[in-house]
Structure 1
Amino acid sequence: MTNANARNQMWEWTGFNAMAPREAERADVGPGQVEVRIRAIGICGTDLHIMSGHAEFGKPPLPLGHELAGVVERVGAGVASWRAGDRVCVDPLTACGACEACLAGNKHRCLDSGEFGLHYPGGWQRFMVVPAANLYLLPDAVGFAEATQAETLHCCLGGIDKLDVRIGDQATVVGDGPTGLYFVQLLKAAGAGKVRMIGMRDYRLRLARELGADETTNLRDPDAIPPASNAQDIVIDAAGTETSLAQSIDILKIGGRLLLFGLAGKPITVDMQTVVLKELSLLGSTNAPHVWPRVIQMLAAGQARVKPLLTHTYTFGEMDKAIAFARSQTDEAIKIIVSIDDNQEESQ
């Protein structure tokens, strides 16, 4: 257990593609709150978009980080569900808790919702105070690094639920990023028949096949043959570009379902005439608060494999190096994890 008087070390986003370390007093733990000692942090593409000004959420200086796992350190008044030493992952989404959307279990639709690490101080720090209701207990079989991916997986699983996957559905995932690789696995788990991935990086496409994809297409290959027009029951656009959207619409069958998941960052053109004439269902998806327990169960049972995606690890003191490496867009880097262990805490 860490000394309660220990100061908090953090990394803050300070401006355009800039960050700096800082030390501060630890926040008080109020009623209904829990302090978590962060043990692992996933680096997300959204972190990079925020730092470069392409995603307007919070303002610097701000510790980012919303893919988090750790250990309960202190518990506030009125919290009976947690105790010091519990291993947890963190749901970064918070809301008012009293509006119609919140009371229906859809806090992501609350007009006052926000996220730690996007709008509010996040997990780029050793100690973080969050509402007790934002924690989920980790089974012993799930490591801290794996648990950081529960946040991403829960978003993906919420999208899969909306698609109403039917046994044998022909499905294509467009985009070979981490979410695309998770979608391949989740489509298979949901009963889809042949699952394809369209991407641009051979390493990731090979991994997609290892994770269950039946076919892959590299758009950089001049001899590549993408799925035919009017062939797919389901397409998931995990890339979020005008090109990926146009291709997704083209390969869907009449009456097909399209999940829009990748964020374009700017308005893009949609071929509405084809959408209408093919009677396509276009579904948007972000958070899905109700699926967190299922994600934890899937991780524990090995139904969602995340370890193959965790390609690089840095220490907390190397956070700036981790971000620089992520920004370099090295093809081999899929998911970068910043790990904090007890030895680091004693030495830094």
Structure 2
Amino acid sequence: MEALRLIEVNKLVFEQDASIPRLGADEVLVKVMAAGVCGSDYGRVFSLGAHTLPIILGHEFSGLVEAVGPEVREDLAGRRIVVTPLIPCRTCEWCRRGEYSLCDAYGFIGSRRDGAFEQYVAVPASALQVIPDTMTYAEAAVVEPTACMLHAMYRGPSIMGRTVCISGAGPIGLLGVQYAKASGASEVVCVDIIEKKLELARRLGADKTVNLSESDLVPAGLSATDGRGFDFTFETTGNPNVQNGVIQTSAKLGSVVYFGFSGNGLTLNDESLDRILRAEVTLTGAWNSYSTGFPGREWQTAIDMIADHRIDVSAVVSHILPLEEAPSFFEKVRTHQIEHGKVLFAPWGIEGAQL
């Protein structure tokens, strides 16, 4: 079978004769139809590596159950599914509390064991989520990042009737814009440095946008809210200047959820600390996409909202590529030769992974 293997940092190898995975007793064999590239995958390829090397990356994916292990229900064969990549230990304190994103000893498909940048992948049967027949495989491959966005949104207060800032108009931010509008936010403002992305944010429902290549965040954000500030901010960029700025544009009793990670340290400046204290701003982090009743409400809500098109994932997908083009794609990203949004690989050809 075909597979894309990360040997070491900046060394990806496309294999045409990789071995089909052997199934464990409680596992299923998934024929991967569409697999998304996460922002974390770029980090693994270009600088960080993975917990295990060599490895096949890919944790945002959909496909068809091709075979089942001896301890797995036979009726799962032939199901169209998405896969929850986290494999919780289910015994640590946090799993017992239902906080699976905080598991102390988790496994993870695509970073701690082989993932979906291959034609077949073996996964625990407990990781399967059946998708509606009306949902395409390409749409289903965006369920995982949508669930991550929802988990972050749920870490903040209710946004019904509130002013919301989405900082960053990448795929996660654009999914957040759509969720905020669908959830009754009174006003959604999206900020980024690329006008083309901001145009898409407006098309997807943002009431206002701020181009940070033309305006400073704090005065522009306060102006957009008539000086009041935002009740809730979803920060996806990881940029330290933006991470400080969204504190200073928070309303009194406002909340900021940090989702973006850049590897750069964050030092709170005097203005940010003053705002946290005097306006009693709440800062919260978000990690992964799981909650009580594994995998939690995030996953079913993501499936439902994509299936009924309250969230249009086709708007955030910029490329659907055959797996054999993956090495050249990553090289173009590394050398800044390509603009992209959410990218999907189609191990069985792009015809089967259309939106």
Deviation, structure 1 residue 223: 9.3
Q: 2:43 aligned with 1:49, yes or no?
A: yes
Q: How does 1:138-217 map to 2 (within 5 A)?
A: 138-217=131-210
Name 2:287's counterpart in structure 1.
286
Name 1:40's counterpart in structure 2.
34
Quick one: structure 1 residues 82 and 98, their matched pair in 2 at CA, closer, same or farther if it must change by over 3 Å?
A: farther
Contact 2:168 2:191 in 1 (8 A): yes
**Aligned partners of 2:190, 2:349: CA distance in 1, in Å?**
40
Q: Structure 1: which amino acid aligns with 2:82? A: C
User: What is the CA RMSD across the aligned residues, in angstroms?
Assistant: 2.2
Q: 2:311 aligned with 1:304, yes or no?
A: yes
- Paired positions, count: 337
Aligned mate of 2:237, from 212, 236, 239? 239
Contact 2:2 2:119 in 1 (8 A): yes
Give aligned-pair identity as a percent. 28
**Aligned partners of 2:202, 2:52: CA distance in 1, in Å?**
40
How big is each residue's C-alpha offset from its partner over 1:297-336, in whole Å with a ceiling of 9 and x where there is no partner?
Answer: 1111111110011111211221212323444556742111
**Aligned partners of 1:171, 1:107: CA distance in 2, in Å?**
27
Gaps of 5+ in 1: 1-7
Quick one: structure 1 residues 312 and 171, their matched pair in 2 at CA, closer, same or farther if it must change by over 3 Å?
A: same
How big is each residue's C-alpha offset from its partner over 1:236-281, in whole Å with a ceiling of 9 and x where there is no partner?
Answer: 1111111011110110012100010101313211243432222111
How big is each residue's C-alpha offset from its partner over 1:35-91, in whole Å with a ceiling of 9 and x where there is no partner?
Answer: 1011111112211111122x4642431111111111101111222275222111111
Quick one: structure 1 residues 344 and 206, their matched pair in 2 at CA, closer, same or farther if it must change by over 3 Å?
A: closer
Contact 1:203 1:332 in 2 (8 A): no
Q: 1:70 is paired with a residue of what secondary structure?
A: strand
**Aligned partners of 1:280, 1:218: CA distance in 2, in Å?**
24
Which moves more between the two structures, 183-192 or 96-105? 96-105
The normalised TM-score by structure 1 is 0.90
Aligned mate of 2:342, from 335, 338, 347? 335
Q: 2:49 aligned with 1:26, yes or no?
A: no
Gaps of 5+ in 2: 291-295
**Aligned partners of 1:309, 1:87: CA distance in 2, in Å?**
22
Quick one: structure 1 residues 343 and 262, their matched pair in 2 at CA, closer, same or farther if it must change by over 3 Å?
A: closer
**Aligned partners of 1:343, 1:301: CA distance in 2, in Å?**
23
Q: Structure 2: which amino acid aligns with 1:40? A: A
Q: 2:28 is paired with a residue of what secondary structure?
A: strand
Q: How does 1:66-77 map to 2 (within 5 A)?
A: 66-77=59-70
**Aligned partners of 1:328, 1:308: CA distance in 2, in Å?**
25
Contact 2:32 2:348 in 1 (8 A): no
Q: Structure 1: which amino acid aligns with 2:264? A: K
**Aligned partners of 1:187, 1:265: CA distance in 2, in Å?**
27
Contact 2:322 2:350 in 1 (8 A): no
Q: Which of 1 and 2 has higher RCO (CA within 8 Å, sep 6+)?
A: 2
Q: 2:326 is paired with a residue of what secondary structure?
A: helix
The normalised TM-score by structure 2 is 0.89
**Aligned partners of 2:220, 2:331: CA distance in 1, in Å?**
34
Q: 1:245 is paired with a residue of what secondary structure?
A: helix
Q: Structure 1: which amino acid aligns with 2:277? A: V
Contact 1:185 1:212 in 2 (8 A): yes
Deviation, structure 1 residue 190: 1.9
**Aligned partners of 1:330, 1:251: CA distance in 2, in Å?**
34
Q: Structure 1: which amino acid aligns with 2:96? A: L
Aligned mate of 1:129, from 122, 128, 153? 122
Name 2:293's counterpart in structure 1.
none
Contact 1:201 1:331 in 2 (8 A): no
Q: Structure 2: which amino acid aligns with 1:279? A: E
Q: Structure 2: which amino acid aligns with 1:234? A: F
**Aligned partners of 1:59, 1:30: CA distance in 2, in Å?**
19
